[in-house]
Amino acid sequence: MRRFSLRSPLTFSLASLNFLENPAPILEKMREAGAIIPLKIPMIGRIWVTTTYAATEDVMKGRTSFFLEGQSVGKSKSAQMPWWIPKGMRLIAANMLNKDEPDHMRLRKLVDQAFRRQGIREMRPTIERKALLVLNKAPPAEFDLIKHFARTLPLETISDLLGVSAAHRDAFAHEAGKISDVSSITKILGTLVALKRLISLVRQLISEARRNPQPGLLSEMLASRDGGDQLSEDELIAMVFLLLFAGMETTTNLIAGSVWALHQAPEQKVWLLADIENRRETAVEELSRHVSSVTGSKPRYVGHDMQLHGQNLSRGERIMALPIAANYDPSRFDNPAVLKLDRFPNPHLSYAAGIHFCLGLQLARIEVQAALEVIYREFPNLTCSAPKYLKRPGSRTVKEMWIKTN
């Protein structure tokens, strides 16, 4: 087995169009090189990545071996925070997804309380109605699915979930839509004005929710207590932005990727539409695996010198688990490049694993199920063009995908 060094990264690109459009062949070559290999990733730098299910799961669940924050390995910053990230971005990145224990568990317990009281499953009828309303506003014959539906539905859902009032809904949607593209340093800097305005608006929403609590997750998070502990205002802001970035973008990309996958596999679409109400849950699990809208998890620090899956890793080096690599590993999934909507069991890692598994996975599943049901009920014969991707490492971000409704 070949041993690698971070000083000599391999040339695979997780942000190339070849990878984003058809990841399976490149993932196969990466696996052939090793279960853990070194890459140089734009905006991240030199880093180890996983290429198999077993290696990906080990890193995701390695709570005492891998760390998101730097203190445990003598570093001054988190593993995913470049030096040039501005102050506002650092504030919103200080959420539980970027925290190690015990801070992660403290935040998770408080937020879990709010989510349980909110009743995500009970939101399904509202999300289904919202999906139809959003779709009905799209142009009748041909439109960009991202612009007119796939981005709008998750944003509307998150606004409903938080309890954003009608008075602030338009401003919240306007500013949130401007901060979704962080694909380069230039574009990050270009979003700072919108980011500052949105942080100010969220502070105003928090202040109003304190004075006059209304139904919604924001008021529920304000009310959450664990003994004498509660979320600070900055922690509430970070949680709102976590919902926006993780909840909006990943769901947008999964909706678009699912429509494209079904377009490419018409026999699978026929199977789904024959009994969509009873088949949608199993189908969306397979679409979550097949699309793998999140290609890479948050970078972590290696906590101590170790050998993992044949590769020597040194304390303080960084490693990124690739859920897309796990989801396309033939040792775990039969014919992983093939869409099989009735695949069961389906232990994909699209929503992560271990203590940082996705808190909003139930909401995302319901949104995608509702989106597909409404889209194909209204437009059973739709056709679509290939998605256009942003060259962004870590996700298959669709910037545009046109559909015809005839």
Neighbour count for residue 171 (Cβ, 10 Å): 14
Task: Please tell me the distance from the alpha carbon of residue 69 to that of residue 196, in angstroms, as a whole number.
Answer: 25
Cα gap 135→366, rounded to integer Å: 17
- How many whole angstroms separate alpha carbon 272 and alpha carbon 267? 9
Neighbour count for residue 274 (Cβ, 10 Å): 9
Domain range holding 114? 17-404
The tally of domains found in the chain comes to 1
First to last CA, the chain: 54
Q: Which helix (H) or strand (E) holds 4?
A: none
**pTM for the structure as a whole:** 0.94
Q: What three-state secondary structure class fits 76?
A: coil
List the pLDDT tens digit at each of the 406 positions of the chain.
678 999 999 999 999 999 999 999 999 999 999 999 999 998 889 999 999 999 999 999 998 899 998 887 888 767 566 555 666 677 888 889 889 999 999 999 999 888 887 888 889 999 999 999 999 999 999 999 999 999 999 999 999 999 999 999 999 988 887 776 554 555 666 677 788 899 999 999 999 999 999 999 999 999 999 888 999 999 999 999 998 888 889 999 999 999 999 999 999 999 999 999 999 999 999 999 999 999 999 999 999 999 999 999 999 999 999 999 999 999 999 999 999 999 999 999 999 999 999 988 999 999 999 999 999 999 999 999 999 999 988 999 999 999 999 8
DSSP-assigned states of every residue in 233-266: HHHHHHHHHHIIIIIIIHHHHHHHHHHHHHHH-H
Instruction: Label residues 3-27 b or e (16+ Cβ within 10 Å = b).
Output: ebebeebeebbbbeeebbeebeebb
| CATH code (residue 128) | 1.10.630.10
pLDDT at 217: 94
How far, in Å, CA of 352 to CA of 82, rounded?
23
| pLDDT value for 183 | 45
Q: Does residue 26 lie in a domain region?
A: yes
Any domain includes 380 = yes
**Cβ-contact 309, 36 below 8 angstroms:** yes
pLDDT for the residue numbered 213: 93
In a domain? residue 4 = no
Beta strand 311-313 pairing with 306-308: antiparallel
Domain-located, residue 8: no
In a domain, residue 160? The reply is yes
Element (H, E) at 116: helix 103-118
Distance CA 238, CA 202 (A): 10
Q: What pLDDT does residue 311 have?
A: 96
Q: Report if residue 6 sits inside a domain.
A: no
Q: Is residue 316 part of a domain?
A: yes
* Structural domain includes residue 3: no
